Chain A
Amino acid sequence: MEQPRAGGYHGIPRWIYALAAAGALFVLLPLAAMAARVNWPQFIPLVTSESSLTALGLSLRTSAASTALCIVFGVPLALVLARSRFRGQQLLRAFVLLPLVLPPVVGGIALLYTFGRQGLLGRSLEAAGIQIAFSTTAVVLAQTFVALPFLVVSLEGALRTAGGRFEAVAATLGAGPTTVLRRVTVPLVLPGLASGAVLSFARSLGEFGATLTFAGSLQGVTRTLPLEIYLQRETDADAAVALSLVLVAVAVTVVGLTYRRQGQTDRGSAAPAGERLDGTQ
């Protein structure tokens, strides 16, 4: 989330382009290789089979729900991390970011010992008649766990880049903290929030390990698209490849749309405001 420096030095040594191209190829080539393996005549029947559509629908629904949870809990977390100072803040940040680098299966085990039937909270929840194991709720929890850091990192970066000067002005004009948050801070970092939310959505869509460990795999309930792909691969490689391509297409569409929209916003109002702020420094 670096801000663009207009009028800066733009020269890049040529060899950097060569390495950049190799890096891009490294990502694109496997995708192209997969696309080349798709059984195109059978593509539509394969991806519109009942189990595929059920899995896709479940993936989209659960990812939307976990993105909503990420916003509800991630925005306050990012605000606290970016705007306040307290002991143990670095530690809190490290732990919030941990799911980024944790193998998802470890996240699944941790969730199991928290929300499972024998888990820390699971026992009380079960006593209250709430069963999370093997339910769609478990899928949403697993996705939220792995996706939350993406929203927090994006938004915290945006908050730091925006700085606190507008908020300070609003406060001197008599606005209370909640009004400042609602009328100044959130509109200011909306592009950052949007890209964080999209990254969270994309990460939720791809969630596999934690779901498999924690939620199980049942058609229409917990078997999301990645789990369906994993299972289809056992018997029907063509279906697995076709579904993989669908997942890639959905992810590319979602991420592409946001970055385009964010680019337009940057060229609109947000960027000049930022430049003016930098100029006054």
Chain B
Amino acid sequence: MRKIMLALFLIVIITIMGCGNGDNGGNGGKGGKGGKGNNQANNASASAEPSTASAAASEAPSAANASNPQELIVAGPDIAASLDPVQPLTSSYLRLIGAGEALFKVNAEGEVEPELAEGATETDATTWEIKLKEGIRFWSGEPIDADAVIASLERSRKLDVQALPFLDDLRLSKIDDRTIRVQTTREHLPVPLNLSYYQTIIHNAEAKQDSVETMDLSGMYKVVEFVPKQKLVLEANDNYWGEKSGIQRIVFEEIKDEQTRVLSSLSGRSHVVLNVPVTSLAQFGGNPDVELVSAPAANTQTVYLNLRQPQLSDVKVRQALSWGLNREELITLAAEGQGEPVATWLSSNPAYAEARNAVYDKFDRDRAAKLLEEAGWSLGKDGIRYKDGKPLVLRLMTWGGDKALGEALQNQWTQLGVKAEVQHGDYSLIETARESGNWDAVIEAWSTFGDEFALLSGQYSPEGSANYGGYNDERTNELLAELEQASDAKMRHELALRINERVAEQAPVLSLFPRPQITAVSKSLQGLAPHFRQFENVVSAKLAWASN
């Protein structure tokens, strides 16, 4: 008995001893001291003026960095499961963290800028010539020439299904070592835009991209350690061809639980925390060490309706569902006020912000009720609308963080006389329901940034992969055909707006607001700018420690 008690006592003591060693070893040493540094900052700021608090906050990480200078800790809900850029989503993580680069990139204003390319020229309606920058090299020192770029893009086309929308219409050939000819199957395809997506990052196709030792990319940071789905450690690439960041080492960690990620930011351990949930915004209130970077993402929270269901095949019912939405209230209830309402799908794209209030310019419940009456749905004594004795039922399927949004929609539609039901669950349930056709409405948010024709045909052409509800409108199809042929940028813009408006009128989908995108950034860090595609724009040469 005594021996058992002694053994238990020893185990408990050994476990509890960890309590005192919070700042020992590896990253923990940095994190632990970072935490203490920030604690000092908190203490200082408690009695100081805001400006002093800010100064103390910026000093805290420099104290932390004294033990392990230049290490930046980024926490996200997911990191790569593989190092190979052609594996699903790997290239987005590699770009986010500064390891991977494409030929072009998109700045925060939505303009396409050269990255590995020096520039591109459209020589005729179906041909582009891309000139590569001089002296660019992979981590291994191998030159990034026309052959290497073509081999990389061909590998992505062959192995990465997510690269298909950007590469499928392109045929690449070499003009000389620094010039590539791109021929397109469609006229006036915006090739630089296509080659700016993370799915097209340039990697050495000759190298085995399956280990830290053999992978070969071109970014300013090299991967030095990798634990799948756990962490990615990177160090500055000393031979980088371009402008370098002052930060020497980056640790990119996967912290799946969103509350834990928030606490990691508040504790001072993580300098950058991605995908902060809107429900946690209040926790950051008054914290002098962290600031929130919020840029509305260029994707629209959208309710996709199943037009094959009898009650939704009537355009008046769909329009009524849209008129009956108080989008401002939805943003307050489901996104903590983070965002602006958008009544049309394309308008979360900064270039189409003008269409934000098109068609459904205000919340109008009376108009919605009138449309439902016209469609034959009369209000019953129980507050539900009926037609031929059948109630107007709408089953809305939600997943992930959209439960609150689903419930807010349910509340608004119920006031309209719609018997709305919310079914929250795994995305697999939605996929299964869509395959069987047994669904009424689902919430999804696709990107609204990119080539207008690709975007709109993917959503609203009869074969579009996101046309879940079976929308097939003759006028929309005609406009899409015109857009495909349009050569002039202004005309493309005009046509895209007309399609966007036509779709809003027909209401196969109901647009709500851009998905909030919030990043928590330690004030010890400078240079992280808001970007509508923040998930691939975190690490750049502009990042620096505030005290440097």
* Chain A partners chain B: no
Q: Which residues of A contact B (CB under 8 A)?
A: none
